[in-house]
Chains A and B, each alone.
Chain A
């Protein structure tokens, strides 16, 4: 299945579902879980690098949804709102771990040649693995914009950064990913 089909729903009735959750509608809650849990889990895993903690964050995010659906403002898309909750919960956990939040200083040296095309599935797996090597905030920006399809403005809202900072995170992330893919290609060619 392609990532496109698993992206958070773009349909406008997400907001209606949240309103129904506010009225105690369990079926609406389950529908939102089905639509958004996989993406939120990936986003949290990229930030936390810990599958168990990422699951805790997703559970807590949906607990917030269940108990605070009334706080939702239709001005923001539901996916943006949920990503923001998950991001804040993950950052809190990183703080507890003693990790600084400005983690994007871990610059990867760049001298990446453009990667040559391998078969797509293998390269997609390499890219997914390469995402795990990115600094958390770069990975989070890449996941939000390039995998989950949030607009730049929405990603800024989730991450709590300005447009310029987001562009920097994205550009450095993409550059590092291309470099990593290129390395994988070289090692694959040798083996």
Chain B
């Protein structure tokens, strides 16, 4: 519903904010425009205030004195910034990054099929991680014949013991 401005309210706003409607409270601007369009008295009152508004825009702003300008320029040098616990701009940015990474991990984990036991890939992986072959095993190549036999007996014995396990 469109709000309607009374003459009394219009005068109060005009007295406070002048004729520049962009300074008026946003909620009452539209009603003020409608009121201005419909009332010659409203336009006359606004014209009276417009002279003062124009003067406000003509007032010059003085630059800070050289003394103040120097003090302001030196301020960062003589006043180090306090140490921040979190050196980044916003705490929530890294938090979101961590949460997103965790979510991606969960999704990938739930979509990846469970690997079957003894699959070729698994065996290949086990084989690959089993370390160097007997031929490459350091020390084996350096053993004498007797020592080599003893070495293989120990190895086979270990295998047999493993097979006896429940």
> A residues bordering B, Cβ < 8 Å?
1-4, 6-7, 19, 22-24, 26, 29-30, 33, 37-39, 41-42, 55, 58-59, 62-63, 66-67, 70, 114-115, 117, 120-121, 123-124, 127-128, 142, 145-147, 149, 151-153, 163, 166-168, 170-171, 174-175, 177-178, 181
Contacts and interface: CB of A to CB of B under 8 A. Distances in A.
Nearest to A155: B23
B97 to A, nearest CB: 18
A98 to B, nearest CB: 26
22 contacts: A2-B57, A7-B61, A24-B81, A37-B69, A38-B62, A39-B61, A41-B62, A41-B68, A42-B61, A55-B64, A58-B68, A59-B68, A59-B72, A62-B72, A115-B52, A127-B52, A145-B17, A146-B18, A147-B59, A153-B25, A168-B16, A171-B12
Given A152-B24, A170-B16, A170-B17, A33 B72 contact: yes
Interface in B50-79: 51-65, 67-69, 71-73, 75-76, 79
Contacts of A170: 15-17
Interface of A, secondary structure class, is: helix
B153 interface: no
A146 B49 CA distance: 12
A29 B15 CA distance: 38
Contacts of A151: 23, 26
Contact of A59 (B26, B62, B71): B71
A145 to B, nearest CB: 6
Interface of B: 12-13, 15-18, 23-26, 48-49, 51-65, 67-69, 71-73, 75-76, 79, 81-82, 84, 89
Contacts, number: 125
Nearest to A116: B51
Contacts of A70: 84
Given A1-B60, A149-B23, 13 more contacts: A2-B57, A24-B81, A33-B73, A41-B62, A55-B65, A58-B64, A66-B79, A66-B81, A70-B84, A152-B17, A152-B24, A170-B17, A177-B52
A42 B60 CA distance: 10
Contact of A127 (B13, B56, B68, B82): B56
Contacts of A41: 62, 64, 68
A41 B69 CA distance: 11
A153 B28 CA distance: 13
A146 B56 contact: yes
A57 B81 CA distance: 19
A65 B56 CA distance: 28
Contact of B55 (A59, A66, A127): A127
B60 A123 contact: no
Contacts of B26: 151
Contact of B58 (A3, A166, A175): A3
Contacts of A115: 51-52
Contacts of A167: 12-13, 16-17
B126 to A, nearest CB: 51
